[in-house]
Amino acid sequence: MNTEENKKTGELRQDLVTGDWIVVSKIRQKRPSDFVAEDKNNEFDDGTGCLFCDPILSGQEEDILLYGTGNDDWSLRIFPNKYPAFSRPVGGQIAHKESGPYFWMDSIGYHEVIVTRDHKKHIGKLDPVAVAEILDAYQSRYIDLMNKKSVNYIDIFHNHGKTAGASIAHPHSQLMAIPVVSPYVQAELDGAEKYYQMNKHCVYCSILEWEKEERKRIVFENDDFLVFCPFAARANFEMWIMPKKHKPYFERITEKEKLTGGEALQKAIEKLDKGLNSPDFNFYLHTSPCDGKDYPHFHWHIEILPRLNIWAGFEISTGIEIVTISPEDAAEYLKEQ
């Protein structure tokens, strides 16, 4: 292979935790400016008729948790999802069913919505202290639900924009407390356990140590958290937010860590917003399950996936992502924003 061809050779990168593979395509390599989203002037209206600006008037169920401002207003509220993917249990055990080789169970659990006050301000436009309040709300609901009989895992996620699955423009997160651990999270747990058995060291701590030493993929950091583009990114401009200290359980986050974690999350979204013209994105929190088992080798973190990729035949048929900007270039671009 000649030198020119070498420059165009892509990389097949393996995720150190799950063993998943992704491709960094050099021949299809793009510049950061190629990812800037088109103007979305109509993304936010003035909030007239918004279901989340006045949840009571719109017929939502009574608030589970309400954060007041002291001025007869609210800054954040949590209420049951009006159209839940998981229905709240009504006594008894979860029904397990079989038919031939197939097995299933009722989708029993809790599905809640975490809504911030301002219709037009997503997390990247909020004050970091307001984002710390969001983390506080996550923690509060997590602790309240983690010991329920039907709950073995609590999934907390945030959809921004239509292509990310947000059917309502008003900024909000969702929480689903469910009876099963997802295969994706289980793969992370298994990968972390396997790595520890082989190396006697947390795989996520190994990642953090190398990222801090190499400094090629760091986007932002403060005393407690590192924001970086993962080496085997599955999406263009994917970022992870991870506590610098080994922390298996999100629900044990401290008051200080909520402030510094809120700052890290706000800065990461702000950089996406400024650098790529507010693209659609998802973020979600991965933490140890609440199924009564111990997970000392896991390390909780937040993953942010901008919706800039379109899955085509290769990705769908193999599960191997093709990203068209390297994590190193993505991090350098975002860091400058």
- Return the active site residues: 172
Token representation of residue 25? 């395509």
- Per-residue three-class SS string for 127-149: CHHHHHHHHHHHHHHHHHHCCCC
Nearest to 211 by CA among 242, 247, 248: 242
Half-sphere exposure of 140 (CA within 13 A, CB side): 17
Nearest to 285 by CA among 170, 149, 168, 137: 137
- Per-residue three-class SS string for 146-165: CCCCCCCEEEEEEEECHHHC
User: What is the C-alpha to C-alpha distance for residues 328 and 27, in angstroms, rounded to an integer?
Assistant: 16
Asked whether the beta carbons of 150 and 94 are under 8 A apart, the reply is yes
- Going by the DSSP 8-state scheme, the letter that residue 229 receives in this structure is -
- Going by the DSSP 8-state scheme, the letter that residue 251 receives in this structure is G
